[in-house]
Amino acid sequence: DAKTTQPNSMESNEEEPVHLPCNHSTISGTDYIHWYRQLPSQGPEYVIHGLTSNVNNRMASLAIAEDRKSSTLILHRATLRDAAVYYCILRYSGGSNYKLTFGKGTLLTVNP
């Protein structure tokens, strides 16, 4: 699986937007960009995914660079419940192999 690079940690204030960056310079044309987050002592939770176009859902927005070598997860208004480790993962979309390879992720701290 292609590798992603994320900052180890980020800090935000409650009710402010948060932009979590992810670099994936070796992404291939068939790789989807997935974001998951993990709250303490819980399993990961799916956040959003995309291929080329920007994506929005009720949780977040995903902005994908035109060359697809980077992406940004946007939380529009951070809450204390958004404090978690956020993982940016590239997932090969071809064949039957859909396994995910987790990196270290970004630990997001949200200050009240």
Partner 1 sequence: GAVVSQHPSRVICKSGTSVKIECRSLDFQATTMFWYRQFPKQSLMLMATSNEGSKATYEQGVEKDKFLINHASLTLSTLTVTSAHPEDSSFYICSAQTGRLGETQYFGPGTRLLVL
In the structure encoding, which two tokens stand for residue 67, read together? 């060359």
Sheet holding 70-75, edge to edge: 18-23, 70-75, 61-64, 55-56
What CA dihedral angle connects 18, 71, 48 and 39, to 10 degrees?
A: -50
**Binding residues for partner 1, per CB under 8 A?**
32, 34, 36, 38, 41-46, 49, 87, 91, 93, 96, 98-105
In the structure encoding, which two tokens stand for residue 89, read together? 């993962």
Residue 74: strand pairing partners: 19, 61
CB-wise, 69 or 104, nearer to partner 1? 104
Shortest distance in whole angstroms from residue 100 CB to partner 1 = 6
CB-wise, 74 or 92, nearer to partner 1? 92
Shortest distance in whole angstroms from residue 27 CB to partner 1 = 15
CB-wise, 40 or 112, nearer to partner 1? 40
